Structure 1
Amino acid sequence: MIGIIDYGMGNLFSVSKALERLDIPYVIGDRPSKLENCHGYILPGVGAFPDAMKALHEHQFIDFIRRKVDEGVPLYGICLGMQLLFEESEEGGTTAGLGLFPGKIRRFTGRDQQGVPYKVPHMGWNRLKIHQPEQPILFEVEEEFVYFVHSYVVQTEDSSLLYATADYHMDVPAIVGRGPLVASQFHPEKSGRAGMQLLENFCKQMSKEHA
């Protein structure tokens, strides 16, 4: 059973429909007590980083998420849900994140290295560049196009986290992970075959962790 963490800032409908297409049982919960015994978790997210951290706190999910990750329970962060896993964000001033990955969230500068302006937000389909194809989460995931919508981007010096990147005037961390904790900047539930394969792989990993 997958628990979808509902803190009021996630696209629960598209995520739940994707799991239904994969025939994966799930439960949506807005408090830890409703999700305590799940075998894995999805942390979706849309909106602003400071609002999301405040909502996680109000729904009592911050310590819950950290505890579950410490216990080795698989967790998948999506879009803003991925960014929340890092140390801090500059969006709306500096806001501390969950601190499960090293790195910070910065706004796209809007200009490339030659000073040529580019569009922010990064919105649309971009091709994945896979760096760690041996990772189980990337089984049968090719260097395909996936769907991004974001104005802020992860900056980390820990290259071991980078399972895949995408090129948008810079190398954008697209899939990051460490052990059972994995996340994607793009929306897998809206990213066609590649996205559905990622979700399926996560569910299979979850099953192995709790076999």
Structure 2
Amino acid sequence: MTGKRVQIIDYQLGNLFSIRQACHHVGLEATITSSADSFHDADALILPGVGAFGNAMDRLNELQLAEPIKNAVLNGKPLLGICLGMQLLFDTSEEFGNHEGLGIIPGQVKRLPTEKDITGRSLRVPNVGWRAATFQSTSPESETTLKHIDNNTNFYFVHSYYAEPTDSKHVLMSTEYGQFRYCSAVGCKHILATQFHPEKSAGAGLKLFANWAEAV
């Protein structure tokens, strides 16, 4: 048991129960909050998310959470971003127009291109299902985050857009969609963020949670 306190940020666009269960499984004391005041008492934050980028930023701003999230991260608070929560960390998104994100990690969020599988059949967007995540980084952060996880392990994805970091050194893992390879996890100092859902990825996902809990 780590005994570390984690706040799961609730802006009404996330699968909070499964994330809290995964946290408890690896010994994190996880609570759900919509108040930035509680960030001060947390050892780390989790930013989940499903849905549209613009709607998510609107909700974060309405709840006065956007600036406190940025300030917490800039002050060294560890953060785990999941799916849309990963995308929100970037500068901008082209989803249903142009939208500004939190601007914590330089880069853009773009729509998955039209692709075909090896048989020539068009692949469906959104990308839903289990896909392999390939290691891309050999940084000290990656050694901590990815230990006990095999390269090319399958994780569970549900998304139509992907994040493209400006600096490739932030790419922790990548995944293929047809012949197109995109960033599926980023690591940046005290930030870990995944396009896939570790809370829905069985044992591999729990290992990722356990690694992050140890690093917090």
TM-score clears 0.5: yes
Give the aligned partner of residue 120 of structure 1: 125
Deviation per CA, 1:52-105: give whole Å up to 9, x if none. 000001111111111111111100000000000001101110000001111111
Amino acid at match of 1:82: M
Matched residues in 2 for 1:59 and 1:72: separation? Answer: 22
Q: Which moved more, 1:13-22 or 1:81-90?
A: 13-22
- Equivalences for residues 149-164 of structure 1 within 5 A: 149-164=158-173
Q: Does 1:138 align with 2:142?
A: no
Query: 1:27 pairs with 20, 25, 31, which one?
Result: 31
Secondary structure at 1:72 match in 2:
coil
Task: Kindly indicate whether the alpha-carbon contact (under 8 Å) linking 1:27 and 1:35 is maintained by their aligned counterparts in 2.
Answer: no
Deviation per CA, 1:169-204: give whole Å up to 9, x if none. 211211101100110000001112221111111111
- Equivalences for residues 8-23 of structure 1 within 5 A: 8-23=12-27
Q: Does 1:199 align with 2:204?
A: no
Q: Does 1:171 align with 2:173?
A: no
What is the alpha-carbon root mean square deviation over aligned residues?
1.7
- TM-score relative to the length of structure 2: 0.90
Amino acid at match of 2:17: F
Query: 1:47 pairs with 16, 31, 51, which one?
Result: 51
Identity %: 38
Q: Which moved more, 1:148-157 or 1:77-86?
A: 148-157
CA shift, 1:119, in A, is: 1.1
Matched residues in 2 for 1:70 and 1:116: separation? Answer: 45
- TM-score relative to the length of structure 1: 0.92
Give the aligned partner of residue 209 of structure 1: none
Structure 1 gap segments, 5+ residues each: 207-211
Work out the number of aligned pairs and report it: 206
Larger strand share, 1 or 2: 2
CA shift, 1:116, in A, is: 6.7
CA shift, 1:29, in A, is: 0.7
Secondary structure at 2:80 match in 1:
strand
Amino acid at match of 1:126: R
Deviation per CA, 1:159-178: give whole Å up to 9, x if none. 10111111112112111011
Give the aligned partner of residue 157 of structure 2: 148
Query: 2:66 pairs with 62, 65, 72, which one?
Result: 62
